[in-house]
Amino acid sequence: MKSLRLVIFALVLLSSPVTLAVANDVVEAEEADSGTFTFVLENDLFFGLDRDYTNGIQLAWMSEPDYAPVWALKAARLLPFFPENGKIRSSYAIGQNMYTPNDISDKDPPLDERPYAGWLYGAVGIVVETGETQLDQLQLQLGMVGPASFAEQTQKFVHEIVHSPEPQGWNTQLKNEPGLVLTYQRSWRALVSTEINGFSIDATPHIGGALGNIYTYANAGATMRFGWNLPNDYGPPRIQPGLPGSGFFEQQNDLGLYFFAGLDARAVARNIFLDGNTWADSRSVDKEPLVADAQVGVAFTVKSARLAFTHVFRSREYKGQTSSDEFGAISLSVPF
């Protein structure tokens, strides 16, 4: 459990020691109001699969506007691509991803298939919303790849509970390696919008990228929403890499419902789960330089809660991959 304690310690350290409120350019120490808690689960068993990106889980919390620790406020002012005037939020998360080859019953999977791998991480970030139409999100993830991610134990535990076959090839997984990835996304909400017979339609494009020994890529895409009483949000959140979404939302009426569809294209320079360990010999495959996510889903909002389901289609990520990937994502956001 040592690696888990290190991840939690780093997350707490980066969010300390005090929460500050910003008013009239003066920073005053003050305890923050309640923020938004978000739970995200991504899994391919929604569609009867158990391979490639097979599971991701994330617990996240985002503060109310204009509450953030000192480091977040300073970073928002110093970074040249962050707007000077905007509502600043801080975010914190912990999560785990796992990846497997096609046949988990094989103790020695073929070398041309994706290697077993896990990623356990903590994350801190700053979010700046400008005029309810532009969202800038910067997040730093720190964690561990390899046996220290506890992905093997997690998958075997879950499979035992649901009476699924026990995975046999985890002894071939990537080796232990500390991981770091810095991600940035900018979205323009409702850049195109209209109403038809009381129903609203809008389109929200985004651009961004990631840098680190876990992922390095540049991405761009857009999300379209169609529904009734659309909340002020940027779509449901996803585990990165994926369409950005937002952990918070502002409800317009007591009830709301919308359908959404989106596309994200990535030019990938580094993916440790395909390229293998950075400083040690490990299994690896030849990755595809261009990867795309297409998604469709539905979101339901009631007062201050949002529940969403997303069906994700991911193009082939490595050469020789037998088929594209497919998985579902459930997210729940509530005040906390």
Which contacts qualify for 108-114: CB closer than 8 Å, 24 or more apart? 108/169, 108/172, 109/169, 109/172, 111/283, 112/285, 112/320, 113/285, 113/320, 114/51, 114/52, 114/273, 114/274, 114/285, 114/317, 114/318, 114/321
- Are 264 and 238 in contact, with CB atoms under 8 Å apart? no
Q: What is the CATH number of the domain that holds 61?
A: 2.40.128.140
- Are 200 and 193 in contact, with CB atoms under 8 Å apart? yes
By C-alpha distance, which of 144, 235, 147, 142 is closest to 188? 235
| Domain of 8, in residue numbers | 2-335
Tell whether the model's pLDDT for residue 27 goes beyond 50: no
Calculate mean pLDDT across residues 52-80.
Answer: 83
313 Cβ neighbours under 8 A, 6+ residues apart: 293, 294, 295, 324, 325, 326
What is the predicted pLDDT for the residue at 232? 85
What is the predicted pLDDT for the residue at 21? 36
Total domains in the chain come to 1
What is the predicted pLDDT for the residue at 192? 80
What is the predicted pLDDT for the residue at 194? 85
What is the predicted pLDDT for the residue at 272? 98
Calculate mean pLDDT across residues 239-255.
Answer: 87
Tell whether the model's pLDDT for residue 318 goes beyond 70: yes
